[in-house]
Chains A and B, each alone.
Chain A
Amino acid sequence: MGAPGVEAAERSEPSGNGHVGRALPRKEDPRLITGRATYTDDLVLPGMLYAAIVRSPEAHARIVSIDTEAAKARADVEAVFTGEDMADMAAPCPMVWVPPGVEVKVPDHWPLARGKVGYVGQAVAVVLGTDKYGVVDAAEDVIVEYDPLPVVTDPEAALEEGAPLIHPDYGTNKVFEWSLPGGDVEAAFRDSDVVVEKRIVNHRTAGAAIEPRAALAEWRQGKLTLYSSTQIPHIARVILSIQLGITEDKIRVVAPEVGGGFGSKLQVYGEEVLACWTAMKTGRPVKWTATRTDEMAVTHHGRDQIDYIRIGAKRDGTVTGIHAKVIQDCGSYHLIEGPVIPTFTSCVIAGCYKFPAVRTDIIGVFTNKFTTDAIRGAGRPEATHMIELTMDALADELGMDRLELRRKNFITEFPHELPHGFIYDSGDYNGTLDKCLEKLDLDAFRREQEELRSRGVYRGVGFSTYVEICGLGPSRALGPKGWGMQGGYFESAQVRVHPTGSVTVYTGTSPHGQGLETSFAQIAADRLGVDPSVVDVIHGDTNTGPFGKNTYGSRSLAVGGEAIARAAEKVADKARRIVAHSLEAAPEDIELVDGTFRVAGSPDKGMTLAEVAGEAYIPGDLPEGMEAGLDEISFYDPSNFVWPFGAHACITEVDAETGRVDVVRYIAVDDCGPAINPLLIDGQIHGGIVHALGQALYEQVVYDETGQLVTGTFVDYALPSAADVPSFETDRTETPSPTNTLGVKGVGEAATIACSPAVVSSVLDALAPLGVTHLDMPLTPMRVWNAIQQAKGGAS
């Protein structure tokens, strides 16, 4: 693949009222704080059936028989279906990563299992009935006989000769093998004075949106409507069309209020397809709502990499090369894009540093666990985690200060082309680190640390300086001929001015908490000279606005927001021509000032947007050849990704008696370009930090060796609570991206990508006097205590 070059977009300052950059409270909040918002499970349709799913308790087994008679006999049950009943499905779940020249094994993954199961929780049958509780009772009456098969859950064991084969036809559990080299990494290591190596387990986690998934499908007069708790209604429509074999014009997908996603709803799940298929079979609306146990078992997981990393350097600290070998646990089947996720690790494998040679080798592996796919950060947190902890180890090996090593190797000139072809758009890595250190006062902390250590209190500080890739993305780089994703990664926007001058913006993005109804209104308002209160942003419905590519990969603002700016600019251009014609001036002399399109030099001569709209919709005297209306569309496909960056510092205190870790301070200085709404940026950073703190300290999806899911509820899966985390100290620098006219970069995943190595590094710093040099996440008290005991044992 080739990374795209940077074609600088001409940055235009918004000419309106300066709403961009202001910390406006959100337009979406009144419905959310009063309980008036409508999430998918809140919806009820006439004649609606409830669906309950019979799931496999076995991790790997042949299905011998399914007896549905007792369930069907219940008075409140309408129908029961199994995989055999679904022979008319047009296709299994498509997996959209088809990298040129690389074989990726994609076993058929159907909404209901056919013949065998490969993970605990796999759907085997669906019961439809009129009573919400009754269908759950009926599902228990479905008798499934299984013939268990040998189970493998460890990805390295699954690669060994003689391991149980999950899909025997392939003769291997290897899903794919893929490499992205840049420069001669072996020569680099030969020329290095020092090479440090680490094995890092980046464990499996859950997205854990608080709203469980739900799907409600209706089939009426040959048309299908799916209401779903999804991040990707437009993409879901394409995929439903493929799987159900009906054309897209007959399908409408609506994402109502969506209660968080974090990647876990960047998916088209079997239950969504099943709701549609059963609605079509029964002719009645069908609603399925996940329990939390469904969420933990069969909402895709994230991470689950074993990373082998090497960094080489000269004695003076100049880095020479970095090589990562990634073993990615894919689970037993794919959903829409799981195998591509670890490849995003390779994009940022150089971190912030001038590595002359880089290489990432990735092996995907089938195991008897559920699918891994995109969860907040999606491959990049894994990269940052291994790079930053290995840079720490390198500094220690060289006897160099950890931050001095980073500064010595920081990329300082932009755009910067990396050995593997990517081009960092803009950056100021010293700038964010400087600001982070100003807030921290490292010297004072070191004094405090020493004093505390003398009293047996262990505090440490850790840093993470990161860069990430987002704003997915340039189609020619990501698409079929590049990275191999089967789609374009533009975003659409339609800006419609109504006859009396208010504005509706349709976006192809599909927000689920990000506040885009506010920030997008700010962007359009500035371009059109109106107040954001009269700009309504519509999203999440394939029957409104143009085809879009939805929300993931921190793309909404850098791609979707830019599309809005461009569509609004088209509207403003037309407005200028109308005003020029009406006021007998040249279009280039019309400027937008304080909400009025006016003639330069004649401030008293001008028209508001409402007046322009009146002319456009009651066309008595439009310029020759101009069509009526004030309504424009933009499809914006970026020329490059955007590359946010920053510096995070974490101070933790470790109780050496119990192994408990407490976060004492957390400082985040991030740069996502000029702020559209600083309130929303801070919110994304706060949430992103806690997502990664959760992984670093508490959260882990655990399967036992028989493939049973141990963490099936929030009792066992430890999501951080308010009592587990501190308040945060955040700040920003603003380095514009040359890629879009807003100069913006994404921020939704940045803090999650940054945070975990800072936490682990701080704990290792705290425990340095005790000799602990390595810890894999999550840093549970037991794990930390054991490491302390081992270090003590080793010393004695």
Chain B
Amino acid sequence: MADAVRVSVTVNGRQHEAEVEPRLLLVHFLRDKLGLTGTHVGCDTSNCGACTCHVDGEAVKSCTVLAVQADGSEVTTIEGIGQEGNLHPLQEAFWKHHGLQCGYCTPGMIMAAADLIADNPNPSEHDVREALAGNLCRCTGYHNIVKAVRAAAAEMGGAEARPAAREEEPAWAHQA
């Protein structure tokens, strides 16, 4: 094992100092050192995007970034983008439009979609599909993910017409 290296990373607005192996992946730093297990590992090869988080505002696949590369950076994970009671519009839209089933790809999908909307506030279906091509989902067939991302973009101020409001508003929908 090579000598540990000191890193300082601001994660979800909070600064963390740690001694890490130079080979430690950012995703394992987040999950194992900080206990932020919302960022997942699905493929180890940057294909599936389950590990997507933001480093200095850009979506990255944290299974292919070393923790030392994030030294001095601002990292945002799914836990930092919104919480129950104060959901991010993308989280709200994934819920409302059934954009998730098992939920394993969802954090990465939401972080990748947030990056898309930051660059392109009014994405077409084609734009969404191309932008999410690096995030794999086995459950949903992507249909409702695409719907959710476009709805969130509209909610966040894009010009697209919002999809029709949800038919049903169950009690728990307002508890979050």
Contacts and interface: CB of A to CB of B under 8 A. Distances in A.
Given A25-B166, A714-B136, A683 B38 contact: no
B132 A721 contact: yes
A723 B129 contact: yes
Q: Which of B79, B100, B105, B175 has the most CB of A within 10 A?
A: B100
Interface string B104-138: 11110010000000000000010011101111111
Main secondary structure of the interface of B (DSSP, over half): loop
A37 interface: yes
Interface in A348-391: none
Contact of B102 (A209, A533, A715): A209
**Interface range on chain A: under 10, 10 to 19, 20 to 34, or 35 or more?**
35 or more
A292 B103 contact: no
Interface stretch (B3-11, B67-75, B139-147, B153-161): B139-147
A683 B42 contact: no
A35 B171 contact: no
A27 B45 CA distance: 33
B42 A211 contact: yes
Contacts of A686: 140-144
A223 interface: no
Contacts of B87: 33-34
Nearest to B172: A533
A693 to B, nearest CB: 8
A688 interface: yes
Contact of B50 (A33, A210, A679): A210
Nearest to B37: A42
Interface stretch (A256-264, A323-331, A499-507, A595-603): A256-264
B62 interface: no
Given A134-B1, A722-B146, A723-B129, A33 B91 contact: yes
Contacts of A777: none
Given A687-B101, A723-B130, A34 B91 contact: yes
A34 B172 contact: no
B98 interface: yes
B64 interface: no
Contact of A514 (B40, B41, B101): B101
B138 A30 contact: no
B101 A212 contact: no
A27 B44 CA distance: 31
Nearest to A76: B1
A595 B12 CA distance: 44
A210 B104 contact: yes
B16 interface: no
A39 B104 contact: yes
Main secondary structure of the interface of A (DSSP, over half): loop
A293 interface: yes
A292 B42 contact: yes
B44 A687 contact: no
B57 interface: no
Given A33-B103, A39-B104, A210-B102, A713 B43 contact: yes
A513 B134 contact: no
Contact of A260 (B37, B44, B138, B175): B138
A532 B142 contact: no
Given A686-B141, A722-B132, A32 B83 contact: no
B37 to A, nearest CB: 4
Contact of A35 (B77, B96, B136, B168): B77
Contact of A690 (B32, B39, B91, B141): B141
B170 interface: yes
Interface string A4-32: 00000000000000000011111111111
Interface in A664-699: 679-680, 682-683, 685-691
Given A133-B21, A714-B47, A27 B172 contact: yes
Q: Which of B141, B167, B172 has the most CB of A within 10 A?
A: B141
B47 A713 contact: yes
Contacts of B128: 722
A745 interface: no
A23 B142 contact: no
A291 interface: yes
B32 A722 contact: no
A384 B147 CA distance: 30
A531 B173 CA distance: 13
Nearest to B103: A32
A656 interface: no
A33 B106 contact: yes
Given A514-B101, A683-B101, A687-B101, A209 B138 contact: yes
A186 B45 CA distance: 53
A705 to B, nearest CB: 25
B44 A292 contact: yes
A292 B83 CA distance: 30
A727 interface: yes
Contact of B171 (A22, A39, A533, A685): A533
B82 interface: yes
A513 B43 contact: no
A208 interface: yes
Interface of B: 1, 21, 23-24, 28, 31-32, 36-45, 47-48, 50, 77-79, 82-84, 87, 91, 94-96, 98, 100-107, 110, 125, 128-130, 132-147, 166-168, 170-173, 175-176
Given A722-B128, A722-B142, 5 more contacts: A32-B103, A39-B104, A131-B1, A260-B102, A714-B43
Nearest 4 CB-CB pairs, A to B? A35-B38, A259-B104, A32-B103, A513-B102
